[in-house]
Amino acid sequence: AQSVTQLGSHVSVSEGALVLLRCNYSSSVPPYLFWYVQYPNQGLQLLLKYTTGATLVKGINGFEAEFKKSETSFHLTKPSAHMSDAAEYFCAVSATYGGATNKLIFGTGTLLAVQP
Amino acid sequence: ETGVTQSPTHLIKTRGQQVTLRCSSQSGHNTVSWYQQALGQGPQFIFQYYREEENGRGNFPPRFSGLQFPNYSSELNVNALELDDSALYLCASSLRGSVSYEQYFGPGTRLTVT
């Protein structure tokens, strides 16, 4: 069975500082991994995804993540935080179910605060 | 290209009542998944519909049911509402067989049960 653990329910950084949001996964099969962002009172927006191939993936808004199989990690980073990055971030793994269903299993989320 | 839409945006129901939530898929998508996001938690998979049939279900009781229509839109029905059903309900559409496995989410319906 697949699962996702996000370390740190709240992360606070200063504007311009490095953003690092941690995600570890458990999967018995090669995982497909995702990061989503959720702004207040909104749905989820896909930031980036890893399926196969290059382990460093780049997403929208300057975010990137690196798939490290040996560490079962998929941490999200951004070199310089912007005030508009303040939101909740969810890491997710795609689990096959009944042969074809690609349900997503989410972590509990990390709320990112950006201080001026 | 039209994104995923959901209606209504908010609603308030009383314990024991029934509710129907609606979702329109993104153009070109043939699969709809529903998720429940309780306050302060990550979304939890309820079920998925493909070709108008349920194609996978999470750990939710039978009073959670759904439909998918020929135009790929979908409904989530919840009977005998309980206080713990208060949550944001998210619909996501995707294209089965797509190599990207991406799911595109709607803005959600906020359900409050009193």
A42 lies within 8 A of chain B by CB: yes
Per residue in B25-79, pLDDT tens? 998 888 999 999 999 899 999 999 998 999 889 999 999 999 999 988 999 999 9
pLDDT band at B1 (very low <50, low <70, confident <90, very high): low
E strands, chain A, are: 3-7, 10-14, 19-26, 32-38, 44-50, 56-58, 64-68, 73-78, 87-97, 101-106, 110-115
pLDDT averaged over every residue in chain A: 91
Of A41, A44, A102, the CB nearest to B90: A44
Residue B42 and residue A90: Cβ atoms within 8 Å?
yes
Residue A104 and residue B103: Cβ atoms within 8 Å?
yes
What are the φ and ψ backbone dihedral angles of B9, each rounded to 5 degrees? -80, -35
Q: Across A88-97, B51-60, B92-101, which has the greatest mean pLDDT?
A: B51-60
- A36 vs B contacts (CB less than 8 Å): 105
> What is the C-alpha to C-alpha distance for residues A21 and A28, in angstroms, rounded to an integer?
23
The A residues from 96 to 115 touching B (CB cutoff 8 Å) are 97-98, 100-109
Pick the closest to residue A45 from A25, A63, A30, A23 (CA basis). Answer: A63
> What is the C-alpha to C-alpha distance for residues A10 and A21, in angstroms, rounded to an integer?
10
> What is the C-alpha to C-alpha distance for residues B23 and B16, in angstroms, rounded to an integer?
23
Pick the closest to residue B42 from A111, A13, A61 (CA basis). Answer: A111
Q: Which chain B residue shows the shortest CA-CA distance from A108?
A: B42
pLDDT band at A68 (very low <50, low <70, confident <90, very high): very high
> What is the C-alpha to C-alpha distance for residues B114 and B105, in angstroms, rounded to an integer?
27
DSSP B39-74: TTS--EEEEEEETTEEEEE-S--TTEEEEE-TTS-E
The whole-angstrom distance between B15's CA and the closest CA on chain A is 23
**Whether B90 contacts B108, CB under 8 Å:** yes
The pLDDT, as a whole number, for residue A45 is 94
pLDDT average, residue stretch A54-82: 95
Distance set, CA A52 to CA A24, A64, A100 (Å): 17, 15, 18
- B45 vs A contacts (CB less than 8 Å): 103-105
The answer, yes or no, to whether residue A97 has pLDDT greater than 90, is no
What are the φ and ψ backbone dihedral angles of B85, each rounded to 5 degrees? -80, -10
Residue B55 and residue A51: Cβ atoms within 8 Å?
no
pLDDT average, residue stretch A72-97: 92
> What is the C-alpha to C-alpha distance for residues B14 and B114, in angstroms, rounded to an integer?
5
pLDDT band at B84 (very low <50, low <70, confident <90, very high): very high
Per residue in A3-50, pLDDT tens? 999 999 999 999 999 999 999 999 877 788 999 999 988 889 999 999
For chain A, give the percent of residues with pLDDT over 70. 95
